Structure 1
Amino acid sequence: MIPPQATVRRMPGLRPRHSSARLIFSHRPPLSRPHPFTHKPQRQSFVSQTPFRPQLPFLSQTQGRLPLAIHLRQHFIRLINTNRREQYKRGLFRGLKIALTSYAIIFMLYLIDTGIYQEEIEHRWPTPPEWSLKSRWALRSAIALQHPNESGQVVTQWHNVYGYVKELLERLEDPNIDGKEIKEPAEGGIFIDGVGRAGFDVSTKSEPWRRGYFQALMSAAKAAENLEGFMTDTKQRVTAKAEYVHGPSNPNAKTLPGRTNAVMHEEDCIPAAPPAETFYMKILTTTGFTAKQKIDAALAYADYLDFKGLGATAGDMYTWAMDIAASGLPYDAARVVDTTTGVLKNNGKDAASDNLLRVSTALAVHNAKIGDLSTALAIFTSVLKARRSLPGSAPPKPSQSNLERGNLPFDNFVQKIKNMFVPSVYPSDPSDGNAPPVRQLGSPCEEAGLMTYIGEILYATSSRETGLAWTRDAVDIAESELLDIARQTETLDTRDRCSQCLKVGVQNWRTMVHNLITSARAAEEEAVAQSGKAWFGGASKAAKKTSERKRWEAEEMIIDDRSERMLRLTNDYSVYKPRGGLFS
């Protein structure tokens, strides 16, 4: 064995004599010689079991595959080197930049689309220029939602309409926003039992401001009518009928259709809108509205009361409307109308005002609903005579450009671009309704509507064929007037009224003829059954009944054919509409 070496200390400044010499420093204790009897030589192994060999994880063998989390934790540092780290940073930055750019482009496209839509409905329904931007936005959006066919909607979302007008009314009645110079009618305001506070004094405001305020109140009233019986969940922002609200008063509430996870609780719900009379009475008690505007509110409220079955209360409201119309005449109203019944006198000297004609017509419809057909017929005939005796006005000039070139494929796109650069023009002041109207484009449609009512009453009370003749003439007049409107003007309101009149007339005509066919078939079967028992004349009587049935069937075929042609005149026409979809 090699003898143990002594510890050698290195002297400072002392260098080895030869460059190859090495100094070995060892602090290990001397090795002891093994005992010859207790030492057993180990078997030589080719695999070293030295404990000083490093045990690296990627060199060790494991049973099966490691979990992904452990594998990534062990190899993450080895995989993320400097080059890859820079590559990942560049990729992450590039992806973030693309995502932010895409979101910015989508947001800008949404803003552009919203701006084009707002300009389009602003030109369709102009708002008062003196209002703030937010108030004008709310008014035109609320009006557009009430015309789903023209605003690209399927149905009217009345809770959205009320949401717009509620905020709008708060702004208009706030002196610090858009309600400057409005006054209370008395100190502290007037409160009506069951209705609320009465209207303000807006006589100092401009006519566009008052007209826009009236439109907001009428929109709120219409929304309140359609939201009667609806509840709004303030937490979930859901509006539904009261039958879907869970609570002590309704433990077996229905599940919301299409929203199985949403449950409306009674403690979180409030009425979707106040009663409609709140807004109608505010219009009627506001100082500054014209007689026509107040009559519009009174007639709408009376019609709503008729719908609810409150005929007596509706009659009182019609009386109020008649008083408003009579008070605007420069002479005694008794000279032109019986204020009790609503029948116009037509003395040939004094002409009835537009307000009187409208109130009398509405009163006739009310009498027809409650069953007083004789009074209703008298009012309808007197109003029809008064309208036919009105003086005429110069017809509007036709739009030659549209007639000559027709509608081009890009007209809609060009119109949208034009709306963005050409500001909308607010319409001039309308009439207050206290003057007699004049015959103008659309007046024959008013007469056709009256003739439709008269024909319906005559068909139900006296003569079926007479009532059918009145209805047939009404359809002819409405169809002819719609043709003139399509050629001379693009006024949508007049076209809407004539379209509605034509649809009602055709529907009544079809119903009358169908009932006559049913009666003729029954009479024919009875005549055929009696012909075998009669001594003479039975066959001729049966043939007469058969001829009558064929006559009405032929007229029904005429109605079907004309319905296809008249469909193109109404606003409901579309090239994608199936055949017979409107009047069937």
Structure 2
Amino acid sequence: MLPPRIPVSRSPGIARLARAPIHHGLRQPSRPFTHNSRLLLVSPPYTRPQLPFLSPLASSRPLPPLSIHLRQHFARLISTERRNYYRQRISRGLRIGLSFYAILVMFQVIKLGVYQEEIEHKWPTPPEWSWKSRWCLRSAHAQQHPEEIGKLMTDWPMVAGYTKELLARLEDPEFEGKGIIEQGDGGFFVEGVGKTGYDVSGKSEPWRRGYFQTLMASAKAAENLEGWLTDWEQRISAPAEYVVGPSNPRPKPVPAGQKKVPREENCTAASPSPEVFYMKILTTRGFDNRQKLDAALAYADWLDYKGLQETAKDMYTWAMDIATSGLPVDAGKVVDVKTGVLKNNGKALPSENLIRVSTAFAVHQARSGNLPTALSIFTSVLKARRSLPPPAPGTLRPILPSFTKSNDPFRSVFDSIKLMLVPVEYPAPLSSGDEPPLRTATSACEEAGLMTYIGEIIYASSSKETGLAWTRDAVDTAEATLLELGDSDDRNPRHRCAECLRVGLENWKTMVSNLVVKAEKEEAESMQKAKGSWFGSQKQVDAKSFDRKRWEAEKLILDDRTRRLWPMIEGESGLEGIAPNSSLFV
């Protein structure tokens, strides 16, 4: 058993305090912190200074606003060290944010520059123009080819905006129009059309070509914006039936997602009439016959679309005068000016402009219902094209630059850098069209288009099987030409051949479908007659059944051929049914 432990204090200080104090000779006064006042028995001493902001507020005293309270005590709440810390953090955040924003801005600027360089290579602009004029022209070209810039539909209001600003610069002597001359004393004014064209013969060929392209783009935009209004307050364009105003109290609802609604009081016409721009081209001095013929045929085609047959015929007559004015021989030896039929006497070949006018006039006659006249013109043009001479050895045709984007991102970046470093070469001018054309690889495609027209007319007017045979030959020719062109650099011939092949296949399918329906009907009628006949009825039924099976088999073969060729056609012109249309709002 352990002995009992002596209780020893673990706190020696307490033991020392318990000892009796040793008094020396002099009495020491008691220290304040050891002197216990009797007040301790009543109230405790204050342990902190009595400051106003530490004291509880009386219930009768109103609370100051939070903003005043924080302003009064802000210096006390945030110390100098913390103020410097926050200042550093805020300045660092601002520097990072501004740097990031600057990087984004520079990235967008670089992206815009690369885009402008790409479309400049696709649609070169006159080098002598200022940067803003070139910007407007190339942007208008790009907007007219949405499939080339990754869009679905053409933004015609934007095209009209670009060309309007560009025309103002080109026709202003203070900007790009230095050197143009008004014809007559201050120019001629035509009612409903406005001023006639200028005299631009003193300008360079690239300037004149760019001016012509601007006028044609303005005319195309005006065709597509007919009946459209522009609200200049809200900067939107829409057809008149969507505009709210006194003349249209019950407008159509705007498309989903469109928040702005155009108001009639703020609206004006989105574009002038196409006639203004076409007539300006036709009356401008300095354009060649090809350019004037382009405007005349486009204007006549638009008049046909509007149903103005007589006015369109007058415009085709004007186009014929333009084409015959460049012939080196008497026009009567080459073409019948009244009917448009080429004579093909083997002595004088028709010019390219003359072939174009005759073809367009034949289409006009077919639309007007004059099928015999149209057929005569088409056959004469086909004979003339087949008699064209081949080009001389070593002859080079001008080809517009063509660029295709790669799906490989690294290849795409490399191509973009290459475009930025390679200067743009403005293409050489095309011929005036006053010389006979040469037979090239695309001539067969032009012949296929004529054969398609001929087959359609013959099918509708006289012999259905003969018209179907012409259509078959047209499809075979177009397919062979498209395969022969392959992956050529010039995209325009491939595009024309694809369009010709598509039209030929559609015509062929329509013809065969009609023949199948007709054969089924005739077979049913022959079977009905066979019930009441004793002799020879079965032979007629068998013959009609054979015809039906024949056309059904051809339809199956045609469907299989269409499925095989459609990827090739869609790759060249798959967006053409969508792209020329205009977006509803901008």
TM-score, structure 2 length as denominator?
0.83
Distance in 2 between residues matched to 1:478 and 1:414, nearest whole Å: 36
Distance in 2 between residues matched to 1:572 and 1:67, nearest whole Å: 75
**Aligned 1:44-83 pairs, distance under 5 A:** 56=53, 59=56, 73=70, 77-83=75-81
Distance apart, 1:365 and its partner CA: 0.3
Find 2:109's aligned residue among 111, 115, 121.
Answer: 111
Distance apart, 1:45 and its partner CA: 7.8
Distance apart, 1:76 and its partner CA: 5.2
Unpaired stretches in structure 2, ≥5 consecutive residues? 1-28, 30-40, 397-405, 576-586
Contact 1:346 1:382 in 2 (8 A): yes
1:36 equivalent in structure 2: none
Distance apart, 1:534 and its partner CA: 2.5
Contact 2:495 2:572 in 1 (8 A): no
Contact 1:567 1:573 in 2 (8 A): no
Find 2:262's aligned residue among 254, 261, 264.
Answer: 264
Contact 2:494 2:572 in 1 (8 A): no
Distance apart, 1:432 and its partner CA: 0.4
1:198 equivalent in structure 2: 196
Contact 2:243 2:264 in 1 (8 A): yes
* SS of aligned partner of 1:572: helix
Distance apart, 1:574 and its partner CA: 10
Distance apart, 1:528 and its partner CA: 2.9
**Aligned 1:325-474 pairs, distance under 5 A:** 325-393=323-391, 394=393, 409=408, 411-474=411-474
Identify which of structures 1 and 2 has the higher relative contact order when contacts are C-alpha pairs closer than 8 Å and 6+ apart. Answer: 2
Contact 1:246 1:264 in 2 (8 A): yes
Contact 1:495 1:570 in 2 (8 A): no
* SS of aligned partner of 1:472: helix
2:310 equivalent in structure 1: 312
Distance in 2 between residues matched to 1:58 and 1:75, nearest whole Å: 15
2:579 equivalent in structure 1: none
**Aligned 1:10-49 pairs, distance under 5 A:** none
Distance in 1 between residues matched to 2:250 and 2:42, nearest whole Å: 85
1:117-162 Cα shifts (integer Å, max 9, x gaps) = 1111111111111111111111111011111111211100000001
1:330-354 Cα shifts (integer Å, max 9, x gaps) = 1110111010010111111111111
Distance in 2 between residues matched to 1:428 and 1:422, nearest whole Å: 18
* Number of residue-to-residue matches in the alignment: 521
Structure 1 counterpart of 2:100, which letter? S
Contact 2:530 2:537 in 1 (8 A): yes
Contact 1:495 1:571 in 2 (8 A): no
* SS of aligned partner of 2:418: helix
Distance in 2 between residues matched to 1:72 and 1:508, nearest whole Å: 86
Contact 2:167 2:214 in 1 (8 A): yes
Distance apart, 1:61 and its partner CA: 9.8
Decide whether aligned partners of structure 1 residues 575 and 223 sit closer, same or farther in structure 2, where only a CA change above 3 A counts: closer
Distance in 2 between residues matched to 1:428 and 1:419, nearest whole Å: 20
Distance in 2 between residues matched to 1:58 and 1:522, nearest whole Å: 108
Distance in 2 between residues matched to 1:408 and 1:253, nearest whole Å: 45
Decide whether aligned partners of structure 1 residues 440 and 414 sit closer, same or farther in structure 2, where only a CA change above 3 A counts: farther
Find 1:158's aligned residue among 156, 159, 169.
Answer: 156
Decide whether aligned partners of structure 1 residues 351 and 260 sit closer, same or farther in structure 2, where only a CA change above 3 A counts: closer
1:494 equivalent in structure 2: 493
TM-score, structure 1 length as denominator?
0.84
Decide whether aligned partners of structure 1 residues 261 and 147 sit closer, same or farther in structure 2, where only a CA change above 3 A counts: closer
1:437-490 Cα shifts (integer Å, max 9, x gaps) = 110121111111100000000110111111111111111111111111115x21
2:507 equivalent in structure 1: 508
Distance in 2 between residues matched to 1:277 and 1:89, nearest whole Å: 67
Residues 454-463 or 251-260, more deviating: 251-260
2:400 equivalent in structure 1: none
Distance in 2 between residues matched to 1:497 and 1:134, nearest whole Å: 33
Structure 1 counterpart of 2:287, which letter? F
Contact 2:498 2:573 in 1 (8 A): no
2:140 equivalent in structure 1: 142
Q: RMSD value over aligned CA atoms?
A: 2.9
2:86 equivalent in structure 1: 88
Distance in 2 between residues matched to 1:68 and 1:555, nearest whole Å: 91
Distance apart, 1:178 and its partner CA: 1.2
Contact 1:227 1:273 in 2 (8 A): yes
* SS of aligned partner of 2:571: coil
1:89-131 Cα shifts (integer Å, max 9, x gaps) = 1221122112211211111111111111111111111111111
Structure 2 counterpart of 1:371, which letter? G
Contact 2:156 2:224 in 1 (8 A): yes
Structure 1 counterpart of 2:541, which letter? A
Identity level (%): 56
Structure 1 counterpart of 2:305, which letter? F
Contact 1:361 1:379 in 2 (8 A): yes
1:543 equivalent in structure 2: 542
Distance apart, 1:281 and its partner CA: 0.2
Structure 2 counterpart of 1:298, which letter? A
Distance apart, 1:75 and its partner CA: 7.2
Distance apart, 1:71 and its partner CA: 11
Distance in 2 between residues matched to 1:239 and 1:109, nearest whole Å: 31
Contact 2:193 2:276 in 1 (8 A): yes
Structure 2 counterpart of 1:244, which letter? Y
Contact 1:456 1:508 in 2 (8 A): yes
Distance in 1 between residues matched to 2:473 and 2:259, nearest whole Å: 56
Distance apart, 1:68 and its partner CA: 11
Contact 1:496 1:571 in 2 (8 A): no
1:210 equivalent in structure 2: 208
Decide whether aligned partners of structure 1 residues 358 and 561 sit closer, same or farther in structure 2, where only a CA change above 3 A counts: same
Unpaired stretches in structure 1, ≥5 consecutive residues? 1-19, 21-43, 398-406, 577-584
Decide whether aligned partners of structure 1 residues 527 and 98 sit closer, same or farther in structure 2, where only a CA change above 3 A counts: farther
Residues 532-541 or 367-376, more deviating: 532-541
Decide whether aligned partners of structure 1 residues 573 and 182 sit closer, same or farther in structure 2, where only a CA change above 3 A counts: closer
Structure 1 counterpart of 2:191, which letter? D
Distance apart, 1:48 and its partner CA: 10
Decide whether aligned partners of structure 1 residues 60 and 574 sit closer, same or farther in structure 2, where only a CA change above 3 A counts: farther
Contact 1:481 1:498 in 2 (8 A): yes
1:169 equivalent in structure 2: 167
* SS of aligned partner of 2:199: coil
Decide whether aligned partners of structure 1 residues 69 and 478 sit closer, same or farther in structure 2, where only a CA change above 3 A counts: farther
Distance apart, 1:364 and its partner CA: 0.3
